[in-house]
Each structure stands twice: as structure tokens, then as C-alpha cells.
A and B are shown apart, each in its own frame.
Chain A
Amino acid sequence: MPFLYENRQIVTPGDLLAEGDYLAAENTFRDNEKIYACRLGLVEYRGRKVQVVALNNLYFPAVEDLVIGKVVEVDLHGWNVDINSPYAGNLRASEALSRPFRPQRNELSDFLDVGDVIVAKVIAFDRTRDPSLTTREPELGKITYGQIVRVSPAKIPRVIGRKGSMISMLKNETRCNITVGQNGLISISGRSREDERIAALAIQKIEEEAHTSGLTNRVTEMIRKERSENA
């Protein structure tokens, strides 16, 4: 058997995962006949695919991704946004404003200023230039209240859960509005600061235990416990 580990075992960069005619999928690389891990994570063998579910990784923008970011610069054409990625996001005025922008009459910073947090969508990205964002769709735009929690982008699928099971549970149990950015940033706004605090705690627990099973139940229990203890 050319699989050198059991499913869901923790592997480190450089660990030899398989040898032979398999597909080197996420977080692995192929060197001749051998497939190695290139990140710390849990190895998964799925048919012909060998992949590693990383415990931490970098966020690379993909078109259609929902991201949360912070404006770090205002220039003549729009804004530069920190989207927790090696590449800063670029939001052009035409992708944020519904009316035409006249540089002499309107100040971009009146609309969005340094420090503002936004929910945006990635509309373009290739390796030669920075990712382009838009806030022109409904549900996108400036976030004005609540709080932002940050997790490793690798953990986002776990926060969402299979078919959205984890995120629905979180929203129900904490009674908060939760927007999950693919880039690892999550926006929470609830009816009280206490609800928001519990949601943040739950998300932290998911990040720390993402690689374990039975998580959804444990998180639900934790939320209920927090609530009753602090009621």
C-alpha cells in the first residue's frame, strides 16, 4: 500500500504521503513519483487524490469570494483594502459608488475612509496585479457596528460546516448576524455585546479544534453553558 499515513493523521512539510500514480491535490506537491505535504495539516486520501487539510494557510483571492477588509489607503481612484492576504485589495470608485464620481466635487474619503471595514466581493485577480473588489451588490458595503474576528483562512470551511450546518447553528444559538469572509475575517453583529462575545468565543473554539470530530455538538454545548452562566 503506497499510502504512508492513516487518514486524518497530522503531517508536516516534507512528509512523504504517497508514491505512485496519484493526484497531488491541495497542500501537497509532487516530485517524480512521490507526493509530499507542503503544509502542516491532516492528510486525506480520497480515491486517487492525496491532499492535506491545512491547519494554517495563506488567503489567495479567488473571483466570487466574499471578503472582509479594512481600508488602509485612499487615493485618486479608489481605496486600497487590507484583505488579510499577501495581496492588497483594490476597490475602484466605480465599483463602490452608484453615482458618477467627480474628483473635484466629491471626496472619496467622505464615502469610505482609512480604518473603515467593508464586506466586498473579489471580481478579478491574476498574478500580475492586485485583486479587484466591488461593493456594489446588496449585502456588501461598509460595516458600521459589531465586531470582527480573525481566524486562519484554512479554518473557514469548518466555520461554515457541511452544507452550512455549523454557521446556521452559530447564528441560531447566538442570535447574531454573522458574515463569513473567505479570507479568514468574520463579522459578528448581535443584539447585545454579550451575544457577540459568546459568538466570538465559539468561533475561537472552532479554530482551535477544527481538526477534531463532534465539534458542532461541543460548540453548541459551550454556547449554552456560557449563556446560562452569565444570564
Chain B
Amino acid sequence: MPKKPKLVNKKGIRTDGRKLDEIRPLKLEVGVVHNADGSAYIEQGKNKILAALYGPREVHPRHLALPDRGILRCRYHMAPFSVDERKSPAPSRREVEISKVIREALEPAIFLERFPRTSIDLFIEVLQADGGTRCASITVASLALADAGIPMKDLVVACAAGKADEHLVLDLNDIEDKEGKADVPVAYLPNFDAVALLQMDGQLTIDEFKETIDLALNGCRQIYAVQKESLKAKYLAAKEETEEVEEE
């Protein structure tokens, strides 16, 4: 019987050196796929995910178009080389479900009524996966939408929290996701205190669940700050440069 790996050591340090409430190193970049109407890239720990969208544009096939609002179509897909054991490129049931929950998490933030009869086609490609990819995908997809100039109520940000060994931890990596006791991914619109995605697997008492959600929302707020900065980054740099030039 193989022994279960210890996920958190006696000092409260996790397998990748993080504290219980620490998120993984995060990097976000906007406007990376030139052809797309909007795009963004995220690295969160070992996760590397690219999101790009076309639209709003006319819907094909036509019968899917709605007369009073646009639709959002979302495809979450993992590259065959993104995981330890090669994954077949054909869409799996997991990818189908995740595509659905990601779409349902982003829709509440988009003013779809402003462009009836069109669709936004969003493509999320996981280039490397290490746990929490659906949350990272939502975070990066929000930036792609904002990059495209699509009107949004708020940026949607997502983060997972859960239980590893006997501790509640924030932003689970792959091994914590697989071997841990619970995983709760949450997507959030911070300015409206609105939860747009909530899932859970594992086992938690209601009190633990309450604490876990709070922890996840905490993580969401930290990531939200990085999202905003990365959106502004391109423009802030140009602004600073030109202000320097004027001072000369």
C-alpha cells in the first residue's frame, strides 16, 4: 500500500515551499495573439495558459444567434503535452464540463445585450497544467475580453482553496488537488461581491467550507490587483515615457 505523501510539513510549509495562505507566483500579459480581437497569457506557478477571442462577430451557424443579445462560446482545451502523461487532443468530458463552467462564470460580467445576433468565440489553450487551470483560465480570459474592448461590468477573477492534510490552503497545485482532501474553485466579481463559479470536490464540514470560501475570495482579491495592473501596463509605460520626454 503506497504511503500518502505529506502535503504540509510541521512548520506549515507546503511541497512547493509556500505558506498555507500564499498564492503561486503570477505573471499576466495582455495582447499576445496578434490576430485575435483580444488575448492574454497567464503563468501561475507551473500553469501556462493562453486565451484569445474573436468577436463579437456574426454567429455561425445562424440559428444559434439570439435576437436580443450576443452569445458567448467558450472552448477550454488542454494541449497533449501539457500534462505528465500525454493527453489525447480530442475533447474529454472534463474539458466539456470545464468549458461550460468557465462560460457561465464569464457571462454575468459581459454586457451581451449590447450586441444582439453576434457571438464572442473564446478559446482557452492550456499549454502546461499544474492544478487550478479552470481558475487561471477564467482570470486570463477576463483580460482577453477587456483587451478586445468588450464592455464588462467587472473583471472576473478566480482562485481555488481547499484542504491539504489537516490544513486549509490557498491556490492548490496539482499534487494538492489530487492528493488533498478538498478543492473549492471560486470565480468572483470583486466590485459586486458576486460569486460566478463555485464547485467543490472532497469532504468538508460546513464550517470548514465557510472558511475555505473566505480563503478563496482572499486569493481572488490578490489576483484581481495583478489583473488590473497588467491591463494598464502597456499604457502606463507609454504614458511614463512621454511624460519623461516632456520634462526634458
A and B touch in the complex (CB under 8 A): yes
B237 — nearest CB in chain A belongs to which residue? A208
Q: Which residues of B contact A87 (CB under 8 A)?
A: 58, 117-118
The smallest C-beta distance from A71 to any residue of chain B, in angstroms, reads 16
**B148 and A29 form a contact (CB under 8 A):** no
**B239 and A12 form a contact (CB under 8 A):** no
CA distance A27 to B111 in the complex (A): 11
**A218 and B155 form a contact (CB under 8 A):** no
Interface pick from A104-112, A134-142, A209-217: A209-217
**Interface residues of B, count at CB 8 A:** 38
Known: A36-B191, A86-B58. A14 touches B149 (CB 8 A): no
Q: Which residues of B contact A27 (CB under 8 A)?
A: 151
Q: Which residues of A contact B147 (CB under 8 A)?
A: 40, 56
A59 — nearest CB in chain B belongs to which residue? B149
CA distance A40 to B147 in the complex (A): 8
**B152 and A211 form a contact (CB under 8 A):** no
Out of B56, B153, B246, which one reaches A38, CB within 8 Å? B153
**A213 and B116 form a contact (CB under 8 A):** no
Known: A10-B236, A213-B246. A39 touches B231 (CB 8 A): no
Known: A56-B147, A152-B149, A214-B242. A86 touches B115 (CB 8 A): yes
A201 at the interface (CB under 8 A from B): no
CA distance A14 to B109 in the complex (A): 9
B243 — nearest CB in chain A belongs to which residue? A212
B67 at the interface (CB under 8 A from A): yes
Out of A15, A36, A211, which one reaches B238, CB within 8 Å? A211
**A12 and B155 form a contact (CB under 8 A):** yes
**A212 and B155 form a contact (CB under 8 A):** no
Q: Which residues of B contact A63 (CB under 8 A)?
A: none
3 pairs of A and B residues whose beta carbons are closest in the complex: A14-B154, A56-B149, A86-B56
**Interface residues of A, count at CB 8 A:** 33
Given contacts A12-B231, A87-B58, list 18 more A-B pairs with CB under 8 A. Answer: A10-B232, A12-B232, A13-B154, A16-B191, A36-B153, A36-B154, A38-B151, A39-B152, A40-B147, A57-B149, A58-B150, A87-B118, A88-B58, A127-B116, A152-B149, A209-B238, A212-B242, A214-B242
**A211 and B151 form a contact (CB under 8 A):** no
Convert A40-65 into 0s and 1s, putting 1 for each residue whose CB lies closer than 8 angstroms to a CB of B: 10000000000000111110000000
The smallest C-beta distance from B28 to any residue of chain A, in angstroms, reads 12
CA distance A107 to B45 in the complex (A): 59
Out of A15, A40, A154, A211, which one reaches B239, CB within 8 Å? A211
**A214 and B231 form a contact (CB under 8 A):** no
Q: Which residues of B contact A86 (CB under 8 A)?
A: 55-58, 70, 115, 118
**B243 and A40 form a contact (CB under 8 A):** no
Known: A36-B191, A208-B238. A14 touches B155 (CB 8 A): yes
Convert A90-131 into 0s and 1s, putting 1 for each residue whose CB lies closer than 8 angstroms to a CB of B: 000000000000000000000000000000000000011000
Q: Which residues of B contact A127 (CB under 8 A)?
A: 116-117
**B151 and A14 form a contact (CB under 8 A):** no
Known: A12-B231, A14-B154, A212-B239. A54 touches B116 (CB 8 A): no
The smallest C-beta distance from A157 to any residue of chain B, in angstroms, reads 15
B80 at the interface (CB under 8 A from A): no
Known: A87-B118, A211-B235. A12 touches B149 (CB 8 A): no
The smallest C-beta distance from B122 to any residue of chain A, in angstroms, reads 15
